[in-house]
């Protein structure tokens, strides 16, 4: 089943409440996906700096920081539950190579403004573990998972990020992901898991790196991705939603002058400010909707 949620704030006065809004949305979607959860938060851009979201299987944060600081100059490590947010000027290519020598660390996502957290467990516990309520930012995307297609692991959890400041959450399943995975890997897109959604994320990264817009890439996806899906995709500048042509997987959008919220079910948005006077609609099948700067 899975639950997906997204929120884009048009009015900056709500930025400090972003985490609080997303917490409510994720909690109410826990019934749709009780086995794991994850979220991506976009906050203000750090010029010339990168944030690497890393999942660690050890609690010896100090030692890891020490080891890394020998290899990476000007490093700042923040630890939240089993995740580390590593801030440095080092460019992704070089840093990812260094990370590969640390078996205890696995990269979840990176960019100048994105932070990604994901974990196995009930979404209500996951958001608590990461103190999601305290986060602020401009937009955020979340997922509650009911695994159908690959194992219940952190690797199998959403959001997936296969490019700088990109992320994707998915409700549905794809049937041609094995073929697509091979062809994307040949093009140099790194796909680590056997999960179908990671392939779709890789497909989007490939489109964006070909200088296509997110909207164009998602429209191309309607032809190339076989299966059923509702996707919410995030970039530095905003977010977009698309449903396949059959539109079996639900989605509802609520838009006010202050924000745009997307969720699998309306109940996930019932706690948002002035939602009862929002423009509420269901995204039409095969159509891309996007919001952003």
Partner 1 sequence: MNLNLKKESLRKVNETLQSIDRKSNKKIFKVSNPDGNHAICAGLKDEIEVTIDGHTGYYCAGMNMNANIIVNGNVGTGVAENMMSGTVHVKGNASQSAGATAHGGTLIIDGDTSSRCGISMKGIDIIVKGSVGHMSAFMAQSGNLVICGDAGDALGDSIYEANIFIKGKVKSLGADCEEKKMNKKDQNILRSLLKKASINESEIKNFKMYGSARKLYNFNIDNVSEY
For residue 114, the minimal CB distance to partner 1 (Å) is 29
For residue 231, the minimal CB distance to partner 1 (Å) is 18
- List 2, 55, 113, 167, catalytic entry: 2
Give the footprint of partner 1 on this chain (CB under 8 A): 247, 250, 252, 265-271, 276, 280-282, 284-285
For residue 268, the minimal CB distance to partner 1 (Å) is 7
Structure tokens at 183: 């062809």
For residue 289, the minimal CB distance to partner 1 (Å) is 14
Between CA 83 and CA 59 the distance in angstroms is 10
Between CA 236 and CA 239 the distance in angstroms is 8
For residue 259, the minimal CB distance to partner 1 (Å) is 17
Considering the complex, state which of residue 61 and residue 248 has its C-beta at the smaller distance from partner 1: 248
Is-contact 175 225, C-beta < 8 A? no
Considering the complex, state which of residue 207 and residue 250 has its C-beta at the smaller distance from partner 1: 250
> How many residues in total does the chain contain?
293
Considering the complex, state which of residue 226 and residue 281 has its C-beta at the smaller distance from partner 1: 281
For residue 84, the minimal CB distance to partner 1 (Å) is 36
Considering the complex, state which of residue 114 and residue 253 has its C-beta at the smaller distance from partner 1: 253
Is-contact 166 208, C-beta < 8 A? yes
String of DSSP letters for the chain: --EEEEEEESSGGGGGGHHHHHHHHHHHTTTT--SEEEEEEE----TT-EEEEEEES-S-HHHHHHHHHHHSSS-EEEEETTEEEEEESS-HHHHHHHHTT-TTEEEEEEESSEEEEEEES-HHHHHHHTTGGG---SEEEEEEE--SSS-SSSTTSSPB--STT-EEEEEEEESSHHHHHHHHHHTT----SS-HHHHHHHHHHHHHHTT--HHHHHHHHHHH--EEEEEEEEETTEEEEEE-SS--S--EEEE-SSEEEEESSGGGGTTSTTGGGSEEEPPPTT-EEEEE-
Between CA 27 and CA 159 the distance in angstroms is 16
- Indicate if 2 belongs to the active site: yes
Question: Which residues are designated catalytic?
Answer: 2
């Amino acid at each position: 089943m899975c639950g997906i949620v997204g929120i884009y704030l048009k009015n900056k006065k709500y930025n400090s409440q972003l985490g609080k809004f997303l917490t409510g949305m994720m909690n109410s979607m826990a019934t749709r996906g009780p086995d794991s959860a994850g979220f991506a938060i976009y906050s203000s851009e750090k010029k010339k700096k990168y944030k690497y979201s890393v999942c660690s299987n050890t609690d010896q944060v100090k030692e890891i920081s020490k080891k890394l600081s020998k290899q990476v100059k000007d490093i700042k490590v923040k630890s939240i539950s089993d995740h580390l947010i590593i801030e440095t000027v080092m460019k992704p290519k070089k840093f990812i190579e260094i990370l590969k020598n640390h078996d205890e660390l696995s990269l979840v996502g990176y960019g100048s403004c994105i932070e990604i957290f994901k974990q196995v467990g009930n979404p209500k516990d996951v958001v608590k573990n990461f103190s999601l309520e305290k986060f602020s930012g401009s937009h955020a995307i979340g997922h509650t998972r009911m695994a159908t297609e690959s194992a219940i692991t952190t690797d199998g959890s959403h959001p997936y990020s296969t490019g700088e400041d990109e992320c994707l959450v998915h409700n549905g399943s794809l049937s041609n992901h094995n073929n697509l995975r091979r062809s994307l890997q040949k093009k140099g897109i790194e796909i680590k898991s056997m999960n179908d959604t990671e392939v779709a994320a890789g497909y989007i990264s490939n489109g964006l790196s070909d200088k296509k817009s997110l909207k164009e890439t998602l429209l191309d996806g309607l032809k190339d991705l076989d299966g059923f899906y509702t996707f919410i995709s995030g970039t530095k500048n905003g977010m977009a939603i698309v449903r396949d042509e059959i539109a079996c997987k639900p989605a509802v959008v609520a838009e006010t002058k202050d924000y745009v919220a997307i969720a699998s079910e309306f109940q996930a948005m019932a706690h948002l400010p002035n939602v009862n006077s929002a423009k509420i609609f269901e995204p039409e099948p095969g159509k891309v909707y996007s919001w952003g700067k």
